[in-house]
Copies of this chain bind each other. A is one copy, B any other.
Amino acid sequence: MVRLLKSTLLLMLWPVLATAQSSVKMEVSQDAGNEAYTIWSPGETVKVKVWLSEKGRPMYSMDYKNRAVIKPSGLGLQLARDKHASKGFRETDLIEGFATEGYKTSSEDDTWQPVWGETANIRNHYNELAVNLLQRDTKRHITLRFRVYDEGMGLRYEFPQQDSLNYFLIKEERTQFAMAGDHTAWWIPGDYDTEEYPTVTSRLSEIRGLMDKSIVWGNASQTPFSPTGVQTSLQMKSADGLYINLHEAACVNYATMHLNLDDKNLVFESWLTPDATGLKGCMQTPCNTPWRTVLVSDDAREMLSSNLILNLNEPCALDDTSWIHPTKYCGVWWEMIVGKSTWHYTDQFPSVQLDNIDWKAVKPNTTHGANNEKVRRYIDFAAKNGLDQVLVEGWNVGWEDWACMWKWDVFDFVTPYPDFDLEALNEYAHSKGVKLMMHHETSSSTINYERHLEEAYALMNKYGYDAVKTGYVGDIIPRGDYHYSQSMNNHYLYCVKEAAKHHVMVNAHEASRPTGLCRTYPNLVGNESARGTEYEAFQGSNPDHTVILPFTRLQGGPMDYTPGIFETQLSTWSDNKHFVHTTLCGQLALYVTMYSPLQMAADLPENYERFDDALQFIRDVAVDWSDSRYLEAEPGDYITAARKAKGTDNWFVGGKCDENGHLAVVKLDFLDKGRKYECALYADADDAHFADNPKAYKITKKTVKKGDVVRVKEAPGGGFAMSLIAK
């Protein structure tokens, strides 16, 4: 097999590779009058078989080291009849009646460099099988494409342009994932409008019984849909120790996929997010679905180190990425989340209409957070502690009645409240080497946002903002649409592309869970799309929450989790009775265990100042990496990760555990041989505990070298952080 390291070279040689089928291990057999195909991954750990059922339905199965991962499972799409059917729509399902009409194998072994990421180089190494199918009665051709990696596979449907399949409407995608056992799963309820649920750990067969109480109400928009519907990425573990993850890659111009479980047979099936009419996709050939991905390993750490989903995305679409940079930031945010200050400026009106208010004349409410004095305080804090940017939420008019009112024109994204001097604050920040970070809460009124987008980005360019946090709280306008529909996915990507034209980085909250699109559009530097730190101030999160997220939510891309809450007891400075379900050191660990090019120091400056020795780790820790190693991992239990700061020889290690605590064994194998490192260890005190004694920590320093082993006791809900500065 030819191995190539540069994609440019690969492209030149592609025709050669594509016909060099002998380099790919595969097998063609006969099955009920049709050919059946079996293909192995490069290292032959994963085997995928593809065939047709007696009724001509495409089927597939997948093994890992000769153990079944996906049992025989059906493929296909159910189509919808449209009132314009006579004009070219075909409503016959693309499920049965197929015959094979050839196949093609190929392989790729390429290494590419992400603009930012966990490692400087990412290897993309797979064998590919494309099976061409003809639906005889309708004369329609489709292609099933499988990419088989040593740690999993991706499959997608491709629809070539053809007279007999020009436009079609998707009633439902019918991709099955038949499980080989009643696995343990880390799942959240399927929902068209929110991903911000606590994760439930249960057997697959227990999902139905646990669904009702798993749907925790309290989000501004929630649309659960099935008693056995769950979201991806779904992490599972088999009784015999296989780690299996189902998700998708490169969801473009398509609805986000959920999984619905047939819990009699333990078969998951795709369940797409509908539009306002209940339909799930409008397609025009040539086109394809996103990749449906299955990750598998007998080592949980490989679930975290896999780049399969990024690899299944298209290469970077931006010519110039020099303006994109990882960012450490703080912001006027946590104090509003906790309830101490407000986004809105006045309590004078029952509701506001932007066109009818003279903001300078209204009566301020005295609780408005985003005021000049406070923002200056945060800028000073950022400058002093080496943070790049300061996010300010609530800077712009419209927060008085912003969500869930079916208001179209909620925000204009350019008009500051009277006590926020946009120009002066930016100047002040820049004079201190800090940037302000823009905030665009859309309140899910997407048409309004798109109407203001150009002006909003132009304002950012004018004042030197280069990153925006966007938000989609509340029900989608246009009414009837859902957060994760095809049209909304188009909206999110449209904003990312328009932002790129303005050299603006995007961190979209409440948008669809990511599927690796940050490879193609690396200005998509973050998403929320899961239960973030804010829920510690609302309902609390379980101590195991952050040792699940890297296995699930983070598979598709980085999360703006906003860690770093040092004062875990919110009542010490506010009326909020909740507490953060980690220790202080557990918070520090997240800067390493929860990979993101965007890391917030989310607590208030005054809280950090009380723990300045611990703050040192946040000052030190990198946000971009040339290498990453997962040293220990078990979903829901613990994660220990080591990362090398890009452009340096320094390493940072983080360890996080659940409510049971963990003894981390950190083998410093990854350090350069013969070199000494100054090690600073931020560890839970012996008697630390996330609930009773969260702020008990000890900082120790010593010199270490390759091969040393550091044992660190993590408290219940705790963790540790370690910096290793090369001497």
Contact = CB atoms under 8 A, between A and B. Distances in A.
Interface of A: 82-84, 87-88, 161-163, 166-167, 169, 275-277, 279, 282, 284-286, 349-351, 353, 401, 404-408, 447, 450-451, 454, 475, 478-481, 487, 490, 494
- Chain B CB within 10 A, most for which of A82, A275, A284, A487: A284
B480 A275 contact: yes
A406 B447 contact: no
9 contacts: A83-B475, A84-B404, A84-B475, A162-B350, A166-B350, A275-B478, A282-B408, A284-B351, A479-B487
Contacts of A163: 350
A22 to B, nearest CB: 33
A71 to B, nearest CB: 36
Contact of A282 (B84, B284, B406): B406
Given A275-B480, A276-B481, A447-B450, 7 more contacts: A161-B350, A169-B406, A282-B406, A284-B351, A284-B405, A285-B351, A447-B487
Given A161-B350, A167-B351, A447-B447, A87 B404 contact: yes
A276 B279 CA distance: 12
A515 to B, nearest CB: 20
Given A275-B480, A447-B447, A478-B487, A349 B161 contact: yes
Given A447-B447, A479-B276, A479-B282, A405 B87 contact: yes
B276 A490 contact: no
B405 A167 contact: yes
Nearest to A282: B406
A307 B406 CA distance: 35
A462 to B, nearest CB: 17
A490 B167 CA distance: 30
A406 B351 contact: no
Contacts of A166: 350-351, 401
Given A277-B276, A478-B478, A406 B450 contact: no
B451 A276 contact: no
State the main secondary structure of chain A at its contact with B.
loop
Closest CB pairs A-B (n = 3): A276-B276, A276-B480, A282-B406
Contacts of A349: 161
B284 A479 contact: no
Given A276-B479, A478-B478, A490 B161 contact: no
A30 B279 CA distance: 56
Contacts of A405: 84, 87-88, 167, 284
A87 B350 CA distance: 12
A451 B493 CA distance: 13
A284 B356 CA distance: 13
Given A82-B406, A350-B161, A277 B480 contact: yes
A170 to B, nearest CB: 11
Task: From A82, A406, A454, name the one whose CB has the most chain B CB atoms within 10 angstroms.
Answer: A406
B351 A161 contact: yes
B404 A479 contact: no
A57 B83 CA distance: 41
Contacts of A408: 282, 487, 490
Contacts of A162: 350
A448 to B, nearest CB: 10
Contacts of A490: 408
A276 B454 contact: no
A503 to B, nearest CB: 19
A152 to B, nearest CB: 31
Nearest to A478: B478
A169 to B, nearest CB: 7
A353 B285 CA distance: 9
Contacts of A275: 478-480
Contacts of A284: 351, 353, 405, 407
Given A404-B84, A405-B84, A405-B167, A277 B351 contact: no
Contacts of A487: 408, 447, 478-479
Residue from A163, A169, A275 whose CB has the most chain B CB atoms within 10 Å: A275
Contacts of A479: 275-277, 279, 282, 487
Nearest to A481: B478
B351 A276 contact: no
A452 to B, nearest CB: 11
A449 to B, nearest CB: 11
A273 to B, nearest CB: 13
Contacts of A351: 161, 166-167, 284-285
A276 B406 CA distance: 14
A403 to B, nearest CB: 8
Contacts of A475: 83-84
A282 B406 CA distance: 6
Nearest to A163: B350
A577 to B, nearest CB: 22
Nearest to A408: B490
B478 A276 contact: yes
A376 B537 CA distance: 69
Nearest to A498: B451
A275 B404 CA distance: 17
Contacts of A494: 451
A399 B478 CA distance: 27
A124 to B, nearest CB: 25
A166 B350 CA distance: 7
Nearest to A494: B451
Contacts of A87: 404-405
A83 B166 CA distance: 39
A161 B480 CA distance: 27
A480 B276 CA distance: 6
Nearest to A281: B406
